[in-house]
Homo-oligomer: A and B are copies of this chain.
Amino acid sequence: MSSWGRVVMDVPDWIDDMASPGVSFEPKDRMPFVIELARRNVVEQTGGPFGAAIFESVTGNLVAPGVNRVVPTAISFAHAETTAIGLANQRLGVFDLGGDGLPAMELVASTEPCALCMGATVWSGVRKLVTGARDEDARSIGFDEGPKVADWQDALRSRGIAVEVDVMREEAAAVLDMYAVSGALIYNGRSDA
């Protein structure tokens, strides 16, 4: 290891209570799982109110879960999506989840992607993105989604990534509201922004 150290992104141990490697989810059960990740992350005070997961689209095999870990890890880009993508990359040993010989994978996220996670979705190689709460739901409690192209759904579709939004939006937004009521830190990169 160089003298500059390493960046270590992780997920909380309580995720093992919810799902271990080898578990599969029917399509209808994927968003509820991701919303529960977000909810439990708030309850356990292990990060922000966001959950995400990568599944094999056909089998439903859970490739990797993720939750927001910005505050506990002090990594500014440790969002739920990047955490799930990074874990999937390293578990499979491939930087391209859409590469030859791999089953099609989808990213399911409790909220529409911020500017960072939009880019991360493109580079991940997933073939589909499914989201719950909208950008405006995140903004309504003080989170900033960042400078993202206005036509982000079309931008993803034009790159071969299917997009499905508003899946269980109310249930997903309820976790955001719960977090806001809890008085936890709404961070936005700059604490004085």
Contacts and interface: CB of A to CB of B under 8 A. Distances in A.
A64 B2 CA distance: 11
A7 B78 CA distance: 10
Contact of A152 (B12, B117, B147, B155): B147
Contact of A8 (B8, B16, B188): B8
Interface residues of A, number: 70
**A71, A152, A193, most chain B CB atoms within 10 A:** A193
Contacts of A114: 119, 123
A122 B119 CA distance: 13
Most buried by B among A64, A65, A87, A123: A123
Given A4-B87, A123-B116, A190 B160 contact: yes
Number of copies: 2
Nearest to A70: B95
A135 interface: no
Contact of A192 (B76, B82, B99, B188): B99
A181 interface: no
Contacts of A123: 76-77, 114, 116, 146, 188-189
A124 interface: yes
10 closest residue pairs by CB, A with B: A116-B119, A7-B86, A115-B119, A147-B155, A123-B189, A7-B9, A76-B123, A6-B10, A98-B190, A76-B95
Given A8-B90, A99-B190, 13 more contacts: A1-B10, A4-B15, A4-B16, A6-B90, A7-B89, A75-B89, A77-B124, A96-B189, A96-B191, A98-B193, A115-B115, A122-B147, A160-B190
